[in-house]
Chains A and B, each alone.
Chain A
Amino acid sequence: MSHSDNSIPQLFEQTLSGERRSLGKLLSIIEKGGEPADDVAGLAHQKAGNTHVIGITGAPGSGKSTLTGRLIENISKIGKKPAVLAVDPSSPLTGGAILGDRIRMDDLAGEGSFIRSMATRGHSGGLALAVPAAIQLFDAAQYNPVIIETVGVGQVEVDVAGTADTTVVVVTPGMGDAVQANKAGLLEVADIFVVNKSDRPGANDTRRDLDLMLDLGHLSGLEEKTGYRPPIIMANSLEGEGAEEILTAIESHASHLAESGSFQIRQEQRTLMEIQNRLELLIGSVSKDALQSESGKLIISEVLDRSISPSEAAKSIASSIIKDFT
């Protein structure tokens, strides 16, 4: 709900001074997209750059939220203020969603932590823009670390977690779970593996499968530079077992990143990806406008009566767009 006295700069000031409700409202503005969202992202960007971003991903129901709850419990205990962005899919049919992640975290969250649920909302590129903006807003508001939970299915979801500073991939014991994770492209983005639900039978087999896959896989750039190999950590998040070890592993990953200069590289990659996503969206909407304009319709009719080819049409429209920009 927007009130006229709640301008974006004002909400931003209040957010910086620790008002949670203003932060909540700015996150909604980011989610809605458009100019106002860009304004918020712009303000946040100026103040960001200090937080450690942790991605947590894995199959549905693998225990990501329960684990995240345990992590923020431990993080809060040492006096830090963690923020969580929990991303869940929207129903493609109705656009609605049931966001049930925070139910697993609320009891464990310390005073200073902030949890926000975000639905994918299905609109193209929406998530790819909203998540980085939300991260930078948390960053500007001095939350550290910022944890992003996404389900490890779907390219955008994997990308979102995979471009974090440290990506934690959660797998569970069970037939072929490690193999599934491999197929979903999760192994490549993993900096740390967690075998969650290690109270269940088969946990050691899963651990061994992962180990084998790491042996077979390519050396990561980080591994070449610093000898870093993604650790595999056993966890029972119902009991909180493994959470401390995971946090230690995150810290050790962070120092490997810093040592090897990879921290810088990841930040650059993330920035590049953000600009590219924005650029593609921008160009997409400009081309759509151009196609629907009078001159666009003319060009389409020329293709229809076969006086020019579709590729000539595209090039001609592209050059007129470029002229408009310059």
Chain B
Amino acid sequence: MSDQQYRVILAKLGLDGHDRGIKVVARILRDAGMEVIYLGLRQTTASIIAAAEEEDADAIGLSMHNAGHLTLGPKMMEAISDAGLKIPLIIGGIVPDEDIAELEKIGIAAILGPGASAEEVAATVRDAISARD
């Protein structure tokens, strides 16, 4: 077991109610040796920040489905920086190419589309964390 055990918060912001994708990601990260703190659906930025602090998370993964990324992504980034947390935010979901640059510009560490393989998902999260260490 590695000395450095990454802890990742996984959550879904807002009202949208599918958790299939995020559950798959949870299993991928567990199988890659990470500890996933699973918050599930209908979280708020405040509940995610509180969990990240209490759990001393190394990263936050947000799943989004209904084109919320351009409003919710920046909102979550703002909450993270307001809290003074220095951990990467990774967004999973369907994000059109033209929006990706926009999200990266505001500091979102990575965006994972629905086609990402298990290896890609795990490597993206790991790289995002080690880039901040």
Q: Do A and B bind each other?
A: yes
The answer to whether A102 and B1 touch across the interface, beta carbons within 8 angstroms, is no
How far does the alpha carbon of A121 sit from the alpha carbon of B7 in the complex, in Å?
12
The answer to whether B54 and A20 touch across the interface, beta carbons within 8 angstroms, is yes
Instruction: Output the nearest chain B residue to A19 by Cβ-Cβ distance.
Output: B53
The answer to whether B1 and A97 touch across the interface, beta carbons within 8 angstroms, is no
The answer to whether B132 and A1 touch across the interface, beta carbons within 8 angstroms, is yes
| Residue A277 CB within 8 A of the other chain | no
| Residue A24 CB within 8 A of the other chain | yes
Q: CB-CB < 8 A to A95: which residues of B?
A: 1-2, 5, 33
The answer to whether A119 and B35 touch across the interface, beta carbons within 8 angstroms, is yes
A163-180 Cβ-contact flags toward B at 8 Å (1 or 0): 000000000000000000
Question: What does DSSP make chain B's interface, helix, strand, loop or mixed?
Answer: mixed
Q: CB-CB < 8 A to B30: which residues of A?
A: 91, 94, 96-98
The answer to whether A115 and B54 touch across the interface, beta carbons within 8 angstroms, is yes
| Residue B106 CB within 8 A of the other chain | no
| Residue A40 CB within 8 A of the other chain | no
A254 to chain B, nearest CB (A): 26
| Residue B87 CB within 8 A of the other chain | yes
Q: CB-CB < 8 A to A49: which residues of B?
A: none
The answer to whether B37 and A102 touch across the interface, beta carbons within 8 angstroms, is yes
Between-chain CB contacts (< 8 Å), 16 pairs: A1-B87, A24-B54, A24-B56, A25-B56, A27-B56, A94-B33, A96-B29, A96-B33, A96-B34, A99-B35, A100-B40, A102-B37, A106-B39, A106-B47, A115-B54, A121-B1
Which chain A residues have a beta carbon within 8 Å of chain B's beta carbons?
Answer: 1, 20-21, 23-25, 27-28, 31-32, 90-91, 94-100, 102-103, 106, 114-117, 119, 121-123
Which chain B residues have a beta carbon within 8 Å of chain A's beta carbons?
Answer: 1-3, 5, 7, 26-27, 29-40, 47, 50-51, 53-56, 58, 85-87, 132-133
